[in-house]
Structure 1
C-alpha cells in the first residue's frame, strides 16, 4: 500500500522543523530528510525512524518492524505523532 502524501504532510506539520525537514518520493513511499540526511521513512502510512542510540534512549518503547520487504527493523513512531516535542527530538 502506498503512503498518502497527506500523511507525510502531517508528519512535517507535527514535527515543526520547518524547511529543515523535507521528503522525496521513493517507490510509492517517502524518505524524510533532516538537513539533507535521511532520518526516517513513511511507508504504508506509518512513520519509521532510522535506528540510533538516541532514538533508543528517547523512545525505547517504540515497536519495531521493517519499513519495506527485506529491510531491517526500524522503530515505528506512529505513537509519537501525538507528542510533538518528543517527535521533534527523535527526528533531530
Structure 2
C-alpha cells in the first residue's frame, strides 16, 4: 500500500521543531530529511526512523525494529500514536539527524 501524501505532510508538519524538515519521493514512497540528512522513511503509511544510539535512548525499551521495505536494513518503527506529539517526534528526528554522518557532496555532471 503506497503512502498518501497527506500522511507525509502531517508527519513533516509535526516534526517542524526538529529543524529544516522536508520529504522527498523515493522509490514510490518517501524519504524524510532533517537538516539535509535522510533521517527517516515513510513507507506503507508507517514511519521508520534510521537506527542510531540517540534514537534508541529516546525510544527506550519501546523501540520496535522492522524493515521499511523488503531487503532494507531494520529501522525503528514509530507508531502512528507517537506522531500526535510534535515535541517528542521532533526530538526523535532531530537526535537521529544529529547522530548521522554528513552526506558526501554530490558529484557534478559534465555537460
TM-score, structure 2 as length reference: 0.77
Structure 2 gap segments, 5+ residues each: 95-111
Counterparts of 1:13-92 in structure 2, within 5 Å, are: 13-17=13-17, 20-60=20-60, 61-78=62-79, 79-92=81-94
CA distance in 1, matches of 2:2, 2:28: 5
Give every structure 1 segment of 4 or more consecutive aligned residues whose post-TM-superposition deviation is greater than 3 Å.
Answer: none
Structure 1 gap segments, 5+ residues each: none
Residues paired across the two proteins, number: 92
Deviation (angstroms), 1:77: 0.9
TM-score, structure 1 as length reference: 0.91
Larger Rg over CA atoms: 2
Could you report, residue by residue, the CA deviation over 1:2-50 in whole angstroms, capped at 9, with x for unpaired residues? 1111000010111123870011101210001111110000000000001
When the two chains are superposed, the root-mean-square deviation of aligned CA atoms in Å is 1.5
